[in-house]
Structure 1
Amino acid sequence: MTDLRTALYDRHVALGATFTDFGGWSMPVRYSSDLAEHHAVRTAAGLFDISHMAQFGVAGPEREAFLAYALALDPAKLALSRAKYTMILAPSGGIIDDLIVTRNAEDRFLIVANAGNRAAVHEALTERIDGFDAALIELDDALIAVQGPRAMEILRATVGLLHDDTLAMGHTLETLPYYTAMGMRFGNGAVLVSRTGYTGEEGFELSVDADDAGALWDALRIAGGPLGLVPAGLASRDTLRLEAGMPLYGHELSLHVTPAQAGLGRVVPLGTKVADFVGRAALESRLRSDAPVLVGLVADGRRAGRAGYAVFDGDTQVGEITSGALSPTLGHPIAMAFVAPDRGEPGTELTIDVRGTRISATVTALPFYRRKK
């Protein structure tokens, strides 16, 4: 049942948004059209409210030891201001959620988790912190994303968003590296600006006090209007992330999937010098050669395979689609699917059962789309 609203809900209503339930939150699925919002992000910029995402602070003397145990992460390698894509695993080695962890102060970390997994992540972290001299703080800050090739111009032009040496952690907006964060000033408060995103484009995610979120949203819209910025909803966010080959929990990731199956084994720190994090033993003992693997599929025509559609080699089902759409950018159907490992090589010809009709599809390396540098 939808009963949660972000600090920006009234602004979405005023903009004529169509809403959907996402993890119990009433979120804008679109404002104008899915295609228009998708193309705006690829050509100019889109403004997303992602405040439904869960944010947790981690502090205390044993914060690093706690994170090294609780997550598939070596926090000692995370320098001040750096962010890392990682996961929190079940003891079985399956994925509870994928996360971004940032060392946002010398004595503090920030964890951002998916909205639908807020309770599961909170429960796992709360259980795993027992015995460590560390504190877990559930935050209610808003989170706003500006994504697209003109994102940098828009942030630079936003009135009231100012550089502050005491918050910047040695960075400027113009030189901020990918997967790095810096503090900026907005009004009387601070904003954590991270060079991260979920669209495959240049972009930033801004964590701001909920009381300041409306003013920041308005300032970004005013600055970005002349540059082509449009408010964008969850529908375009989904096609953008699919084109970029980015997994979505509940589709490509789940408790029944290991990181290696999803092509994300590189993010898990296995090795003799790494802490014994939850799930490590299971991963080291679950090296199955027959486990399905995640691949990309491309097809001709206009009929796209959707989540749950079967994938065949001849008359034998060899897999199932996890996400699929007619790509707005590329103009042909694309999908991600788990298939038998011996059918996962790029160039392999398969078929997708699209409502009783077999559609030819070719295995391809992910992502489907890469932004121009």
Structure 2
Amino acid sequence: MRARAGLDDPVERFRVRPGAVTALRVCGGDRVDVIDPHGRQPAELTVLSADPAAVPGTVPDAPASVLRRLVAGPDEEGFAAARILTLLSQHRIDQHAAVATRLFDGRSPAGARAGFGVDADAVVLVAAPASPMSPAAEDPNPPSEVWVEVRRADPRRLEPAELPEPLAEPLYDMRIDARTASAYEVRAGQFIQVIDVQGRQCSDFLAFDAHSLHDGTEYGLDATTTRTVGGGAYPRPGLAGKFFDPRARPLVEVVRDTVGRHDTFALACTAKYYADLGYPGHVNCTDNFNATLSRFGVTARAGWPALNLFYNTAFDADHQLISDEPWSRAGDYVLFRACTDLVCASSACPDDIDPSNGWMPTDIHVRVYDSTRRFSVALGHRLTPDADTVLTRPTAFATRTRALTQQFSEYRGYWLPTAYDNFGPQHEYWACRERAAVMDLSALRKFEILGPDAEALLQATLTRNIRRLARGQVVYSAMCTEAGGVIDDCTVLRLGENNFRFIGGDPYDGVWLREQADRLGLRQVWIKDSTDHLHNLAVQGPASRDLLAELIWTPPTQPALPELGWFRFLIGRLGGPDGVPLVISRTGYTGELGYELWMHPDTGETVWDAVWEAGQPYGLAPLGLEALELLRVESGLVAAGHEFDDQTDPFEAGIGFTVPLKSKTDDFVGRAALLERQAHPQRLLVGLRLDGNDLAGHGDCVHVGRFQVGVVTSGARSPALGSSIALCRIAVQYAEPGTRVEVGKLDGHRKRLGATVTTLPFYDPDKSRPRS
């Protein structure tokens, strides 16, 4: 991935993923800098050039381990590998004998650089070697990304890459010039990639059933049918699922979307739109579509309802349609799969009188790929506005969970099951409460905090007293802003004197911790993202201890699983001393006795199979997100974006016990604000028992009489209690148990649900079950 501030910026920046290779062309006079942004990550640099001294200072002194392992294949990674292998072949280099200059050692500091001048034209291959990280390693070091900066002697000598590399070999490429539209035919099963070339450029998309067109009937994308069948609001961020014609037959489905924000099914711009704004005769998408579709016999229209890709509209609180500049960046795309033979049309919108195209219309590019290709289903996420897109990925247990259900949702960058076929949320819930359940929780973010300054960093950034954390112990904590708002909640494991494992929910946690390390001048600490090297299963329920005791072997230096204390962890193996290495913590998110098993993804299927087989005599069931929501609300457990955010302090969020202001005298981020907030509380988290069976939902207003006194943060119908319950953040004046309030529905006044304030948690208030 290449990033550049602009044509006049002489520096190009490339990201190299762990285990991947990035190729870049350089010219005489350029300078190449390889950067280890997070530390302790080696790099391999291989120079391909007719001049053996093209890049002085590079000495091939090690095997090019990443190059030697590349394998071409039909999927996206295999296609990328094929391109690199072609480069090696063109330079007559035997892949299995390739060598490289090894950069950085195992202790390089965060931000370490290695710079090289360039004397002659060359292709430079930069790789980031990636070895599996053992979850039980004494000094874990998950592989991380490498960055490359190329400072051009002549920024205009190499034209900037205006398109991302193809996902596979295209059947055809088609440029849609600014202010134009083009129609094209696609066969069933083929893939359509619509690319925003320069960013912030709206592209309208139309599709028609080709067979019906041949018979003289038009069946195209239909907004009302699609909204009704899919259940989505109009408009809504992102594109999801299939898009239908008026017969409720699917025409296209979205496979991948790197933007996540569009306007769906508004009219493509029309002649009337421009004329009404004082621009008669302005070129418009509708007329462009009419012209290009005429050869397929499509009847001209005054306005075309379309998928408005890369556009940015919304309805405000007054239900007014508003728009602003698109969110898309250069190279963003949407990938469709054709559900039947189609006639499609795409535009590069000509609107230059408002922000819909960033005030300057640019090109759109379309690629079509063969139906035999395989692409992952994914949405794109950017950790920060200038970060590369990261696509949704499966977990280590995907092959096993997919065999049990097709009900998945995108959760913080991973696909997780919402419910399981032949089970269902109620069954899964009762299995956890009465027997045992197993759940994929791999979307949690894991960071290895390593080095002599590791304890000091966590002590200065978390509310808990990390100095008191013993080896083998787990602590639950909050991480706050200077104003006292909660950035995230987390658990921290102490693996050694200078080794901690931070587990949170937000991928931004690692960025923030690195920023704090820099601010505090802590140079001997490494914050390494281990999320993709530690996937985890939660085994929860009254039978979880007996179930796992049959599976987990522990050495004499570790406690046996039946003796493991609450919020403690052990390092063991599956089945025996030669089995899969595991970290097992006695933690969970269900309010029941339970454990979490942490392993490398390569061994995930083995662990799932062992747990599944051992669990059958205990009535083990899989557990999806819907059942988990019932369990955690009953147990009064908080969730990001519901009970807390950066505008809510831990006391308001119901986790004030994580802020020991009296016993932790060391300063930490937010301490001063939390002292003030504790002394003058405004709101508290309480429970509500609703009078009837209507559900209260997140964001519902809570009233005493005319005026609002609180807001529902989460709601559920409790199977154990047989009633509707809710978590509510409420003014302290109304937080006393027994206080009568009303939950407002509709506009907050026309429908009110009676409720009574109660203490939390609703279920097992003494936490006797997880402690048992």
Contact 1:17 1:29 in 2 (8 A): no
1:183 equivalent to 2:571? Answer yes
The SS at the match of 2:743 is: strand
User: What are the within-5 Å matches in structure 2 for residues 1-373 of structure 1?
Assistant: 1=379, 3-31=392-420, 32-114=423-505, 117-118=506-507, 120-130=508-518, 131-132=521-522, 133-139=524-530, 140-158=533-551, 161-166=552-557, 168=558, 171-186=559-574, 187-271=578-662, 274-287=665-678, 289=680, 291-355=682-746, 356-370=750-764, 372=769
Please tell me the root mean square deviation across aligned C-alpha atoms, in Å.
Answer: 1.6
Segments of 5+ residues of structure 1 without an aligned counterpart are none
Q: Is the 8 A contact 1:80 1:106 kept in 2?
A: yes
SS in 1 for 2:605: helix
**Alpha-carbon distance in structure 2 between the residues aligned to 1:264 and 1:231:** 29
- Between 195-204 and 136-145, report the one with greater CA deviation: 136-145
- Deviation of 1:271 after TM superposition, in Å, equals 3.6
Q: Residues 197 and 204 of structure 1 are in contact (CA less than 8 Å); yes or no, is this contact kept in structure 2?
A: yes
Distance in 2 (CA, whole Å) between partners of 1:213 and 1:122 is 24
Alpha carbons 2:463, 2:480 under 8 Å: kept: yes
Aligned-partner Cα distance in 1 for 2:450–2:620: 36
- Mapped contact 1:143–1:207 kept (Cα < 8 A): yes
Q: Deviations over 1:82-119 (max 9, x none)?
A: 111101111211000000011123431111101xx11x
1:288 Cα shift? Answer: 6.5
- Distance, in Å, in 2 between the alignment partners of 1:63 and 1:290 is 33
Contact 1:94–1:257 (CA under 8 A) maintained in structure 2: yes
What is the number of residues matched between the two proteins? 365
Rounded to whole Å, the distance in 1 between the matches of 2:498 and 2:609 is 32
TM-score (norm 1): 0.94
Counterparts of 2:439 and 2:564 in 1: how far apart (Å)? 21
Tell me the secondary structure at the aligned position of residue 129 of structure 1: helix
Q: Distance between the aligned counterparts of 1:75 and 1:270, measured in 2? A: 13
Q: 1:17 to 1:288 in 2, by over 3 A?
A: farther
Which structure is richer in relative contact order (CA contacts within 8 A, separation 6 or more)? 1
Distance 2:550 2:584 in 1: 15
1:182 CA drift (Å): 0.6
Kept after mapping to 2: 8 A contact 1:143/1:208: yes
- AA in 2 matched with 1:25: Y
Q: What is the CA–CA distance in structure 2 between the aligned matches of 1:327 and 1:30, rounded to whole Å?
A: 17
Q: Distance in 1 between matches of 2:631 and 2:403?
A: 25
Are 2:465 and 2:664, in contact at CA under 8 Å, matched by a contact in 1?
Answer: no
Structure 1 contact 104–181 (Cα < 8 Å) conserved: no
Distance 1:93 1:288 in 2: 13
CA deviations 1:13-47 (Å, max 9, x no partner) are 11124101111211101113111101110010110
Distance 1:165 1:275, change over 3 A: same
Larger radius of gyration: 2
Q: Is the 8 A contact 1:304 1:354 kept in 2?
A: no
Paired residue type of 2:394: R
Paired residue secondary structure (2:563): coil
CA distance in 1, matches of 2:455, 2:693: 49
- TM-score relative to the length of structure 2: 0.46
Retained in 2: the 8 A contact 1:261–1:294? yes
The answer (yes or no) to whether the contact 1:60–1:134 under 8 Å persists in 2 is: yes
Distance 2:553 2:563 in 1: 15
Deviation at residue 364 of structure 1 after TM alignment: 0.3
* Residues 203/272 of structure 1: CA separation in 2 closer, same or farther (3 Å cut): closer
List alignment gaps of at least 5 residues for structure 2: 1-378, 380-390
Which shows bigger deviation, 135-144 or 358-367?
A: 135-144
Determine the C-alpha separation between the residues in 1 that align with 2:663 and 2:442: 38
What's the CA shift string for 1:286-338, capped at 9, x where partnerless?
Answer: 34636221110002321121111111112221111010011121110000011
**Quick check: 265-274 or 249-258, which moved more?**
265-274
Native 8 Å contact 1:101 1:111 kept in 2: yes
Contact 2:453–2:498 under 8 Å retained in 1: no
SS in 2 for 1:154: helix
Q: Deviations over 1:256-298 (max 9, x none)?
A: 1001112322211324852211111222233463622111000
| Cα distance change, pair 273–141 in 1 and its aligned pair in 2 (3 A) | closer
SS in structure 1 at match of 2:449? strand
Contact 1:72 1:88 in 2 (8 A): yes
Runs of 4+ in 1 over 3 A off after TM superposition: 285-290
Task: Kindly provide the amino acid, as one letter, of the partner of residue 250 in structure 1.
Answer: G
* C-alpha distance in 1 between matches for 2:471 and 2:407: 39
Does the residue aligned with 1:65 lie in a helix, a strand or coil? helix
The range that moved more, 187-196 or 46-55, is 187-196
